Amino acid sequence: MRLRSGVFASSCLLVEVLGVALFLRGFFPVPVRSLPRREARGDLPAEPAPPGPGMVSNWTKIPPPLFKKVVIVLIDALRDDFVFGSKGEQFMPYTKQVIEKGTSYSFIAEAKPPTVTMPRIKALMTGSIPGFIDVIVNLNSPALLDDNLIWQAKTAGKRIIFYGDDTWVKLFPKHFVEYDGTTSFFVSDFTEVDDNVTRHLDRVLKREDWDLLILHYLGLDHIGHVTGPNSPLVGAKLREMDNILKKIHISLLSKEEASFPNLLVVCGDHGMSETGSHGGSSAGEVHTPLLFISSAFEKRSGPLTYPELVQQTDLASTLAVGLGLPISRNSVGNLILPVVGGRTMREQLRFVHLNGFQLSRLLQENTPAYEKDPGYEHFKIAEKSHANWIKLYLEGNNSEILLNLGKKVLKQYLEALKTLSSSLSKQVAQYDMYSMMVGTVIILEYVLVHSSWSDDADICTHVWYFVCHCKDL
């Protein structure tokens, strides 16, 4: 009798584990993936071949970097209204002045849930969309093995320095020539956690032995968790951040060359809700400011317009182009065109072609019927138009026809990029509903049957019946 009870209990446990496993398989879909990162630097396309005999484009390599030094200031839990709203007006006067009258481009970057730090860093640096499975490993982040901006920069010989949230050190071990990590566990610490980042600034800004500097400030996030977004402490912290941005910006301007400018990027990993928390999908949690500040841009003139909405994943593609690096192979992001809008038409077309090639290749590797995808079709049309433009360019045509055709091709590429990115992003969020339904039914059936029947044969019969007929539900 005891043996029979043991077998029965073991069967029940196995059935329950099967149900949970099937549900998790459906809830955590397989992400969009390309080749391993060790193979990611080759296979870059040349410009589209111009039609006609004897005409060959001579641009086959990746474009050189647009910026000498890049500083990324990530302010944890920085909501868009903290910069673009009344709090920005009151507490971030220097940043606000640069946005309104300086050489900058401002955007609102939309972060996809889950809005917690580790998945958002992955999105910013890989251009891919992490899933909810990343919430589980958020507190103990393993090394990031996917192709990403940091790895590409290190492989290209860029010298990277990091100060701030030690999640970066865990995700990118041995990538920084110098680093100082701070922990995010002591949420009651609003001051020292940021002072440990800022104390390095005076020294590092005077040095020339780095190409990419990343700063991740945690104080604002801690204030939000403890006192909420409307606390008086938020204003003081924003003023502190404004002074830091002013110091960095002035230092970059004082040391740059006219032909090779620097770039300051200001962003948040996520925002915060009206209670100061994050992780969900409310507007306050998913909308963060994204600022590009450089003397390479034209000074703003005319009335100020509300910032355009972009995706957080767009940063990886944009910075890759700015640093002269290949775009991460798993990126679903689009190049933010205004950042390169001051370059020649040929350069702009080259940038968007590289982005389109990368997205279309990712689509090919993840979608069997990729040729029927509207984004892929649009990209091929844009490539043909681009080839015609190159033909005119190489023939020495400098007329208005060349300019107008270039603008048309650019528009075609941007439409293709948008559609390709949308197709790939939908794949990431495409849950396996059948597995989820089967798993749910098995668990529910187990609970119901277990409470009504003691005969294990009846349990097996009921579970098998529901598994076989779940597709008809």
pLDDT at residue 434 in the model? 54
Sign of the C-alpha dihedral, residues 49, 361, 427, 77?
A: negative
Neighbours of 34 (CB within 10 A): 20
Strand-pair partners of 73: 215, 266
Across the range 335-363, mean pLDDT stands at 96
What span, in angstroms and rounded, lies between the C-alpha atoms of 447 and 428? 32
Confidence label for 300 from pLDDT (cuts 50, 70 and 90): confident
Burial of 20 (0-12, 13-18, 19+ CB in 10 A): middle
What span, in angstroms and rounded, lies between the C-alpha atoms of 312 and 316? 8
What span, in angstroms and rounded, lies between the C-alpha atoms of 126 and 87? 31
Across the range 414-428, mean pLDDT stands at 92
Structure letter (DSSP) for residue 338: G
- Of 192-201, 381-390, 460-469, least confident by mean pLDDT is 460-469
pLDDT at residue 409 in the model? 98
C-alpha neighbours within 13 Å on the C-beta side of residue 310: 30
Instruction: Output Rg (C-alpha) for the chain, integer angstroms.
Output: 26
Which position has the higher pLDDT, 160 or 52? Answer: 160
Q: Token pair for residue 457?
A: 């044969």
pLDDT at residue 259 in the model? 83
Across the range 121-138, mean pLDDT stands at 75
What type of residue is 462?
A: H
**Whether residue 29 has pLDDT greater than 60:** no
* 3-class secondary-structure state, position 93: helix
**Whether residue 2 has pLDDT greater than 80:** no
pLDDT at residue 447 in the model? 65
* 3-class secondary-structure state, position 330: coil
* 3-class secondary-structure state, position 166: coil
Across the range 288-313, mean pLDDT stands at 92
**Whether residue 470 has pLDDT greater than 50:** no
Strand ranges in 154-220 using DSSP code E only, listed in sequence order: 160-165, 178-182, 212-217
Structure letter (DSSP) for residue 257: B
**Whether residue 461 has pLDDT greater than 60:** no
pLDDT at residue 443 in the model? 65
Output the CA–CA distances (angstroms, integers) from residue 382 to 47, 56, 216, 229, 373, in the order listed.
12, 18, 39, 45, 14
Tell me the pLDDT of the chain averaged across its residues.
Answer: 86
For 216-258, how does the pLDDT look when each residue is reduced to its tens digit (9 = 90+)?
A: 999 999 999 999 999 999 999 999 999 999 999 999 999 888 7
Residues 6 or more apart in contact with residue 461 via CB below 8 angstroms:
none
What span, in angstroms and rounded, lies between the C-alpha atoms of 296 and 71? 15
Output the CA–CA distances (angstroms, integers) from residue 279 to 117, 120, 282, in the order listed.
9, 10, 9
What span, in angstroms and rounded, lies between the C-alpha atoms of 195 and 303? 37
What span, in angstroms and rounded, lies between the C-alpha atoms of 398 and 416? 26
pLDDT at residue 155 in the model? 96
* pTM of the entire predicted model: 0.85
Which position has the higher pLDDT, 338 or 20? Answer: 338
pLDDT at residue 142 in the model? 79
pLDDT above 70 coverage of the chain, percent = 79
Q: Token pair for residue 159?
A: 């010298």
pLDDT at residue 228 in the model? 96
pLDDT at residue 137 in the model? 47
Instruction: From 320, 357, 345, select the one nearest 335 (Cα to Cα).
Output: 320
pLDDT at residue 449 in the model? 59
**Whether residue 124 has pLDDT greater than 60:** yes
pLDDT at residue 426 in the model? 85
- Give counts: helices (H), strands (E), the chain: 19, 8
What span, in angstroms and rounded, lies between the C-alpha atoms of 25 and 433? 10
According to the per-residue pLDDT averaged within each range, which of 17-31, 34-48, 296-310, 428-442 is highest? 296-310
